[in-house]
Every structure is written in structure tokens, then in C-alpha cells.
Structure 1
């Protein structure tokens, strides 16, 4: 599984790269703030919301600490998606939140 640190992902965003970020935390966690522009799909909803994802797109998966996003990555890789897990999750994120 491909991985990226929170700092590396933040640098990509700051440099203006167009990124597809998916936050797999629960609603109440996302309400406390998420990476600007990230889409919220709770981990349990990923299987039934696959139609919202494009296999030609590269997705960065985010959760609180990197565990749930890792599970989401494993599942999506099996489905043929191109994904990267953000290690450390939002606990490691020092950038802006919305």
C-alpha cells in the first residue's frame, strides 16, 4: 500500500496540486474539521458509495490516526482503485482545516 505523510500531503495542497482526498472518519469527527476540499465518506459507507469514485482518479485516504484509512485503502485496492494512505491521520495534520 502506498503511503504519504501528513506533511507531504499538506505540501502538495499548498503547492496547488489538484488532489482527491477522502476522509473516512465518522460524522462527529469530521464536524471538528477536515482537510479543505476533502470529501467525506465514512469507512462503513465506502462499499455502497463506490459509484462516487473514479478508477482513473488517484485518491488520498485520511482518518484520525491512519488505521481506518488503511483499511479503506486495502478494500479499494482490491476493487482496482489507485489510493494512498495518509499515515498518522488527522492527529498528524498541521495544515488548515475547514
Structure 2
């Protein structure tokens, strides 16, 4: 499984790189703060939303600590998508939130 650190994600965002972040936390968790511009798809709904994603687009998956986003990466990879897990999740994120 490919992994990326929160610091690397922050650097990509600061450099205005075209990245696609997906937060797989539950709605209540996201309401407490999320990375600006991130797409929210709860892990339980991810397989139902696959048709909304593009197989040529690489996605970075985010959750609270990195566990659920790791499962999300597995789901996406099993269906032919490109995905990377942000290790440490939002607990390790010290960038801006909205």
C-alpha cells in the first residue's frame, strides 16, 4: 500500500499541486474539522460511490488515524483505482482545517 505523510500532503497543497483528497470519516467527525477542499465519502458508502470516481485519478485517503483510510485504499485498489493512505490521519495533521 502506498503511503504519504500529512507533511507531504501539506507541501503538495502549498505548492498548488492538483491532488484529490477523500475523507472517509463519519459525518460527525468531519464536522469537527476537515482539510479545506477535501471530498467527504464515509467509508461505509465508498463502494456505492465508486462510479463517481475516476480510475486514472490518484486519490489520497484520509481518516482520523490512518486505519479506515488504509481500508479505503484496499477497496479502491481492489476495484482498479489508484489510492494512497495518509498515515496518521487527521490526528497527525497540523495544517489548516475548515
Q: Normalized against structure 2, the TM-score is what?
A: 0.98
Cα root mean square deviation, aligned: 0.5
How big is the shift at 1:53? 0.5
State the Cα deviation string for residues 5-37 of structure 1 (Å, max 9, x = none). 011111110111111000000000000111111
1: CA distance, partners of 2:8 / 2:57: 19
What's 2:51 paired with? 51
SS in structure 2 at match of 1:46 = helix
Alignment of 1:50-69 (within 5 A): 50-69=50-69
What's 1:7 paired with? 7
SS in structure 1 at match of 2:25 = coil
Structure 1 segments, 4+ long, off by >2 Å, are none
What's 2:21 paired with? 21
Count of aligned residue pairs for this structure pair = 98
Q: Normalized against structure 1, the TM-score is what?
A: 0.98
SS in structure 2 at match of 1:45 = helix
What's 1:30 paired with? 30
Q: Which runs of 5+ in 1 are unaligned?
A: none
